[in-house]
Amino acid sequence: MLEIHNSLSGAKEPFRPMDPPRVSLYVCGMTVYDYCHLGHARAMVVFDMVVRYLRESGYRVHYVRNITDIDDKIIRRAAELGESIDSLTARFIGAMHEDADALGCLRPDEEPRATGHIDEIVAMIEGLIERGYAYVAGGDVYYAVSRFPDYGALSGKRLDELRAGARIEPGEHKQDPADFVLWKGARPGEPSWPSPWGDGRPGWHIECSAMSTHCLGNRFDIHGGGLDLKFPHHENEIAQSEAATGEHFVNYWMHNGHVRIDDEKMAKSLGNFTTVRDVLAAHDAETVRHFLLSSHYRSPLNYTADALAQARAGMERLYTALRGLPGDIGSGTPGAVFSARFHAAMDDDFNTPLALSVLFDLARELNRARGAADMERADSLGATLRNLGAILGLLGESPDAYLQSGGGGDAVDAERIEGLVAERAAARAARDFARADAIRDQLLAEGVILEDKAEGTIWRREG
């Protein structure tokens, strides 16, 4: 049975959806003012993996991932670039989709945008005011944190600690330093919408409460996002949503760990980020997915050139095992024990490192079957390997194409290499071994490895 580590309880819990086989999942998406970096890619790939595995397990997943398309950062960036907010957000939404597609991520079933749900946001704020959880001050609306007794249950933070480290900034009218804004009164030159409290725009936290309950209802199964969103964003979502509806908000909270560079969290604010498109210019998408899944989703992940090289080498091992086998995905009875081990790993809070190790064990067994000339067993094991890899979004390429791709970076002159391989074969047939060896050495110096098989010579790029 699948168990999920629930950030709210701090423990692994058996997964029992409210309305099986339906599963409702909401993931906090991007604030679209710049290109996605590798930290965003981790969240994309982690929750893509979660959706894939839940569907593989027979669940009908309703996957919602929002887009924040109005925010202080967006307004500032548009002003810096002299670009309209609509143009800026449309451009970076398109770039986000390109990055997610390139990483092999499934599109969400719904992708609500904050500006498309102003009516729901205003209605939720009205309800919070009526119930005494929010107040109007200076044209803004604030959430009164002290009115919600369970505030801090997700993050473990206490109100007195929050007050000690907070202050009321100039221009703010909140009654308590821990209170947070639900609606910002209109500022000159900024976009705004009408409301009962005057023109303005929503605060960040209320957007997700309104969009998630609109798409999935007052209570749903899983809410996911990066660890940095646990506080204050997700803590505030709980306070808003439960105060507005009177119902328990989310059953399971999932948070993925940070991607780190030099032991610091990768973030645009720190200036130490690497964009998804820069990484994909140097490494193929499956290598990047393998890297992002090589550590448990809740653990930090350190980004290094060596880690990417190891991920590429791992993918080459898997594809080399599949080389020459049927490309279709079918049943693989001899691989049943590996399939059981894989599912046991994934049922243990989506333990992808252990699941990947099962794939490598399976590839080893496949190679043994091939070495024993038991091609029926090898074909069946290969089908299992393809099936299990697909659950992680891996092994979707042709082995020859993948192994000859070189893992991204400089384009491979495949036609020239094929010509040299053919010339070497002709030289060997003519017993001109000096020329054959010279061609092998030339290609090796270029990072191209030749393998002489009974059916001919195959080649691959070094990772």
3-state secondary structure of 133: coil
State the pLDDT confidence band at 348, using cuts at 50, 70 and 90. very high
Q: Is 233 annotated as a binding residue?
A: yes
Q: Using alpha carbons, select from 414, 397, 415, 417 the residue that is nearest to residue 316.
A: 397
Q: pLDDT higher for 267 or 153?
A: 153
Q: Using alpha carbons, select from 1, 40, 13 the residue that is nearest to residue 254.
A: 13
114 pLDDT higher than 50? yes
Q: Is 105 annotated as a binding residue?
A: no
- Can 17-261 and 305-399 be said to share one CATH topology? no
409 pLDDT higher than 60? no
The stretch 335-353 carries a mean pLDDT of: 97
To the nearest 10 degrees (0 to 180), the angle between helices 85-102 and 72-81 is 110
Burial class (CB in 10 A: 0-12, 13-18, 19+), 300: middle
Peptide bond preceding 232: is omega within 30 degrees of 0, i.e. cis? yes
According to the model, what pLDDT value does residue 410 have?
42
Residue with tokens 């976009």: 191
Q: Which residues, 6+ apart, have CB-to-CB distance to 248 below 8 Å? A: 219, 242
266 pLDDT higher than 80? no
According to the model, what pLDDT value does residue 267 have?
61
186 pLDDT higher than 90? yes
Question: Helices in 217-263 by DSSP H: which ranges?
Answer: 235-245
CB–CB of 352/294 below 8 Å?
A: yes
Q: CATH number of the domain at 17-261, out of 3.40.50.620, 3.30.70.260, 3.30.70.1560, 3.40.1080.10?
A: 3.40.50.620
Rounded CA-CA distance 266/228 in Å is: 11
271 pLDDT higher than 70? no
Question: Which DSSP letter does residue 334 get?
Answer: G
147 pLDDT higher than 60? yes
According to the model, what pLDDT value does residue 217 have?
98
Percent of the chain with pLDDT over 70: 93
> CB neighbours (10 Å) of residue 80?
10
Reported as a single tens digit per residue, the pLDDT across 18-40 is 999 999 999 999 999 999 999 99
Of 70-79, 97-106, 263-272, 428-437, the least confident: 263-272
Tokens for 80? Answer: 């810096």
Please give the backbone phi and psi of residue 110, each rounded to the nearest 5 degrees, phi first.
-135, 145
331 pLDDT higher than 60? no
Fold (topology level) of 305-399 = Four Helix Bundle (Hemerythrin (Met), subunit A) (1.20.120)
Sequence ranges of the domains in the chain: 17-261, 305-399, 414-461
According to the model, what pLDDT value does residue 454 have?
64
330 pLDDT higher than 60? no
Percent of the chain with pLDDT over 90: 75
Rounded CA-CA distance 265/260 in Å is: 4
411 pLDDT higher than 60? no
3-state secondary structure of 371: helix
According to the model, what pLDDT value does residue 115 have?
98
The stretch 244-261 carries a mean pLDDT of: 96
Find the helix or strand (DSSP H, E) in which 214 lies. helix 204-216
According to the model, what pLDDT value does residue 328 have?
59
Q: Is 268 annotated as a binding residue?
A: yes
